[in-house]
Amino acid sequence: MKNRILPFVLSLLLCSLSFANESDVHSAFSPKLRNYLTNNPTALKVLTNAFSEAFAGKTFRLFYFYAEDESQPRAFHTYAEPSAVWISVRENQDVRDELITLLFEVINSKSEEKFRKIAREARMRSVKKSQFAKQVLRIEFDAVKATRDLLRTLDFSEKERADSYYYNRFDQCPDDFEAFLAYSKKVSPKRDALKEYEAKYDSLGN
């Protein structure tokens, strides 16, 4: 949902995602993530299944970028056109976090119709700013829970969980939306997702 010009682009890959096998998507990842997935076949299977389900018949562009500002997301996706999705992932983070953020954005991107609908309503001003922000977060909340449930199927060691910035944040996510809003502020004090989407609402009216 975010439009940004990314400095320090490491790679740009345009891939047709009618996957014949796992290597089609595996080759698009950073060398660090490819190496990790080679040694973790369960994680590879989960991620490639997510890609196949989300992007069958579509194309995607995968960007890697460097950033240090923790008030900004470590990954996000945009809809370049109805049949194409761009996913941007921060490269300078723990490989497990690269996996988690990529998995989340793949799952989150599946809600394209819902995102486009609420964006149209925002442009028409048929929804209030606060309602828009909450509705976007409700959509993302479903993706957070789906990601959480998939992560629990992976055999992360205690050390891997501790080293990861995101694993416990996803794992401990509550099932109630209002509780999720409070939880998000607690675990990400440098970000205010509601304000971010309220700003997006303002930009959609221009």
Under 8 Å between Cβ of 164 and 97:
yes
The pTM for the full model equals: 0.86
The pLDDT score that the predictor gives to residue 24 is: 60
Q: How confident is the model at residue 206 (pLDDT cuts 50, 70, 90)?
A: low
Under 8 Å between Cβ of 77 and 87:
yes
- Going 121 to 127 to 129 to 131, the CA torsion angle's sign is negative
Q: Which residues contact 199 (CB under 8 A, 6 or more apart)?
A: none
Q: How confident is the model at residue 9 (pLDDT cuts 50, 70, 90)?
A: very low
The pLDDT score that the predictor gives to residue 199 is: 93
pLDDT tens for residues 57-109?
888 888 999 988 887 889 999 998 778 899 999 999 999 999 999 999 999 99
Under 8 Å between Cβ of 44 and 26:
yes
- Cα separation of 206 and 202, whole Å? 7
Residue 51: C-alpha distances to residues 17, 24, 171, 181 (Å): 8, 10, 21, 27
Under 8 Å between Cβ of 30 and 87:
no
Average pLDDT on 2-20 reads 38
Q: How confident is the model at residue 191 (pLDDT cuts 50, 70, 90)?
A: confident
The pLDDT score that the predictor gives to residue 23 is: 53
pLDDT tens for residues 128-165?
999 999 999 999 999 999 999 999 999 899 999 999 99
